[in-house]
């Protein structure tokens, strides 16, 4: 009896050929549509046959976990140089049933700005990054393809006493960073990046270009912490700049477990959120070599920005946290823009031009292949639980594990949970950022480290916020839940992840989404769904 050896392969071959042919037809029709309606230069469009396709795709693909041979790739990458190109791309994508992924800096932790499971096009905003700083009015217009490093550089070109309160990593794009909240070393003094936004330009599903006045306060509210990619393509932000002293002070003090790190971290939990709002100091936790040969220990790095001089800082620390033993020799006075180099570990000898480098040479735990998560802490974690946490740093599966504790308090306590979609305000002592990275590219190694991170996250459950266990949207985590692949996801399903990011603000976000994008064209695994009951 002959085996039907060709039946299955033939079926798969037919299915593959059909899918390929369908994608090819979609791809060709989409390109024809673009050429007819946009006047976009062909040099701004990259297909899979383009010689530069790979380099353009990889340039802003920040998590190497999503740069493998099996990662779905866009049929087309469009790099618009003006708003009309964005409008045409949206219109042609709708006409030819292609999803859109919007990429500013490419730092989405789950790759959602450049990966999709269905045929898709990337709108890469790399060519839309102009920045106009007005020192007289203390404002700036920033195109959404700019990085925060480029923004800091342009501010410093014009002023030594103006700044902007956003993140530490200079290659992060302002498009996603601002629309998800955006915190940094001045958050306790001035709030989030999103709290400084006073206007925006967005291209909606029907191709209209709206500013704050024409979009209305509901949509303007939604894009300042609710994730812009759910509502349209944000192409520019207008922000307030903040005033800082011409001289600020920084320090980094390292303490290992043998140097009383457990008690210091425990005390830090009640000090950092209550101390003067001019002082922001976080804790980095990493495994390092012990002074005992062949052994490992955990090191707590206390890293700080103080908006003032050394003498003021020393007096403040001696009053509030004498246990750390901070002395003048630990501290460095510098300008605010120099502190922008200091915190990501860029040598002070480097030119400020390094902030214009979009690819970046900074080595962080989220610079290669990684998995990350977040938590909010509302009560101090007991010492015994911290001692249990240290054991996780010694596990074989821990890879390069790093935890960052970032304090709240200050002005964050004064802003209402509903002021923007970002709800994590009063009542939070600090936020935890968990990240594990590794070098091996095979799937089994990746799964091993991802499982490790999930087990660590489970261990921390008793010690963090509850009902919901809150999370930060800019630290995207698909373990929390995801939408269906189609254009309908029930409220119940979306709530599993969305209430963690937005709490009660999720309900208003759904109403805004249903008004501006009722057919749910702008969607991804964790986009705000439209108002359908489920």
Asked if residues 154 and 180 have their Cβ atoms less than 8 Å apart, the reply is no
User: Measured between alpha carbons, how far is residue 302 from residues 322, 341, 426 in Å?
Assistant: 13, 17, 23
Rounded Cα–Cα distance for residues 83 and 101 (Å): 16
Rounded Cα–Cα distance for residues 125 and 145 (Å): 4
- The 3-state DSSP composition of the chain as helix, strand, coil percent (nearest 5) reads 40, 20, 40
CATH topology classification for 248-334+354-460: Vanillyl-alcohol Oxidase; Chain A, domain 3 (3.40.462)
Identify the bridge partners of residue 101 per DSSP, sorted by sequence position: 122
Instruction: Tell me where in the chain the CATH 3.30.465.10 domain(s) lie.
Output: 131-243
Which pLDDT value is given to residue 223? 98
**Residue by residue, what is the 3-state secondary structure of 432-454?**
EEEEEEECCCCHHHHHHHHHHHH
Which pLDDT value is given to residue 201? 98
Asked if residues 304 and 281 have their Cβ atoms less than 8 Å apart, the reply is yes
Angle between helices 212-222 and 505-516 (to 10 degrees): 140
Which pLDDT value is given to residue 67? 81
- DSSP code per residue over 61-103: ---GGG-STTS---SEEE--SSHHHHHHHHHHHHHTT-EEEEE
Instruction: State how beta strands 209-210 and 248-256 pair.
Output: unpaired
Which pLDDT value is given to residue 16? 40
CA dihedral sign of residues 60, 62, 64, 66: negative
Instruction: State how beta strands 76-78 and 120-124 pair.
Output: parallel
Rounded Cα–Cα distance for residues 198 and 186 (Å): 19
Which of these, 231, 227, 230, 283, lies nearest to 476 by C-alpha position? 227
User: Measured between alpha carbons, how far is residue 235 from residues 37, 76, 121 in Å?
Assistant: 19, 20, 17
Going by the DSSP 8-state scheme, the letter that residue 381 receives in this structure is P
User: Measured between alpha carbons, how far is residue 140 from residues 47, 85, 136 in Å?
Assistant: 34, 23, 10
* Residue 314 CA from chain centroid, whole number: 33
Instruction: Tell me where in the chain the CATH 3.30.43.10 domain(s) lie.
Output: 23-124
What are the backbone dihedrals phi and psi of residue 407, each rounded to the nearest 5 degrees, phi first? -75, 155
Which pLDDT value is given to residue 363? 58
Which of these, 519, 523, 529, lies nearest to 495 by C-alpha position? 529
Going by the DSSP 8-state scheme, the letter that residue 382 receives in this structure is P
Rounded Cα–Cα distance for residues 203 and 375 (Å): 33
C-beta neighbour count of 482 within 10 angstroms: 18
How many residues are listed for the chain in this entry? 534
* CATH dotted code for 131-243: 3.30.465.10
Rounded Cα–Cα distance for residues 75 and 166 (Å): 33
Q: Which contacts (CB < 8 Å, 24+ apart) does range 129-133 have?
A: 133/157, 133/158, 133/159, 133/162, 133/241
pLDDT under 70 in the chain at which residues? 1-26, 38, 360-367, 532-534
CATH architecture of 23-124: 2-Layer Sandwich (3.30)
Asked if residues 310 and 333 have their Cβ atoms less than 8 Å apart, the reply is yes
Asked if residues 65 and 133 have their Cβ atoms less than 8 Å apart, the reply is no
Among all residues, which ones are annotated catalytic? 475
- Find the DSSP H helices in 295-442: 310-320, 336-342, 383-390
Cβ contacts of residue 20 below 8 Å, gap of 6+? Answer: none
Q: What is the CA radius of gyration of the chain?
A: 24
Which pLDDT value is given to residue 532? 61
Instruction: Tell me where in the chain the CATH 3.40.462.20 domain(s) lie.
Output: 248-334+354-460
C-beta neighbour count of 9 within 10 angstroms: 9
Rounded Cα–Cα distance for residues 234 and 217 (Å): 15
Which pLDDT value is given to residue 8? 38
Answer whether the bond into residue 450 is a cis peptide, omega within 30°. no
């Amino acid at each position: 009896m002959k085996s039907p050896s060709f039946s299955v392969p033939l079926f798969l071959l037919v299915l593959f050929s059909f899918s390929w042919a369908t994608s090819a037809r979609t791809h060709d029709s989409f390109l024809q549509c673009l050429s007819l309606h946009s006047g976009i230069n062909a040099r701004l469009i990259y297909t899979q046959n383009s010689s530069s396709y790979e380099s353009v795709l990889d340039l802003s693909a920040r998590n190497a976990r999503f740069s493998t041979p099996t990662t779905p790739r866009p049929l087309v990458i469009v790099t618009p140089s003006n708003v009309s190109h964005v409008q045409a791309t949206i219109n042609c994508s709708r006409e030819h049933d292609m999803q859109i992924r919007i990429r500013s800096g490419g730092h989405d932790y789950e790759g959602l700005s450049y990966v999709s499971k269905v045929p898709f096009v990337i709108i890469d905003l790399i060519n839309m990054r102009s920045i106009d700083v007005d020192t007289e009015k203390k404002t700036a217009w920033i195109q959404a393809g700019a990085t925060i490093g480029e923004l800091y550089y342009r501010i410093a070109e014009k002023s030594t006493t103006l700044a902007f309160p956003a993140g530490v990593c200079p290659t992060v794009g302002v498009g996603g960073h601002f629309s998800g909240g955006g915190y940094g070393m001045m958050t306790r003094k001035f709030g989030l990046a999103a709290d400084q936004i006073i206007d925006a330009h967005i291209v909606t599903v029907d191709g209209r270009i709206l500013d704050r006045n024409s979009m209305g306060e509901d949509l303007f509210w939604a894009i300042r912490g609710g994730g812009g990619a759910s509502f349209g393509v944000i192409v520019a932000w207008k922000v307030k700049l903040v005033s800082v002293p011409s001289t600020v002070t920084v320090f980094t003090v390292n303490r290992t477990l043998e140097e009383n790190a457990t008690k210091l971290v425990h005390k830090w939990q009640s000090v950092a959120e209550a101390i003067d709002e001019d002082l922001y100091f976080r804790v980095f936790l990493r495994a390092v070599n012990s002074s005992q040969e062949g052994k490992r220990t955990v090191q707590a790095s206390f890293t700080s920005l103080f908006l003032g001089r050394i003498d003021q800082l020393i007096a403040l620390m001696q009053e509030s946290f004498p246990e750390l033993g901070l002395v003048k020799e630990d501290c460095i006075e510098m300008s605010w823009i120099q502190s922008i180099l200091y915190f990501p570990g860029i040598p002070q000898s480097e030119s400020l031009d390094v902030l214009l480098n979009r690819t970046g040479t900074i080595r962080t735990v989220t610079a290669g292949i990684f998995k990350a998560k977040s938590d909010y802490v509302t009560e101090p974690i007991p010492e015994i639980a911290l001692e249990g946490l240290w054991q996780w740093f010694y596990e074989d599966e821990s890879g390069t594990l790093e935890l960052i504790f970032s304090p709240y308090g200050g002005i964050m306590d004064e802003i209402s949970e509903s002021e923007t979609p970002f709800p994590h305000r009063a009542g939070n002592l600090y936020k935890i950022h968990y990240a594990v990275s590794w070098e091996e590219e095979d799937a089994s190694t990746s799964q091993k480290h991802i499982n490790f991170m999930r087990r660590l996250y489970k261990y921390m459950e008793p010690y963090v916020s509850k009902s919901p266990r809150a999370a930060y949207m800019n630290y995207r985590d698909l373990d929390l839940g995801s939408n269906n692949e189609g254009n309908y996801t029930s409220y119940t399903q979306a709530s599993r992840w969305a209430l963690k990011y937005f709490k009660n603000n999720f309900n208003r976000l759904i109403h805004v989404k249903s008004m501006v994008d009722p057919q749910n064209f702008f969607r991804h695994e964790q986009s705000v769904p439209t108002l359908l009951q489920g």
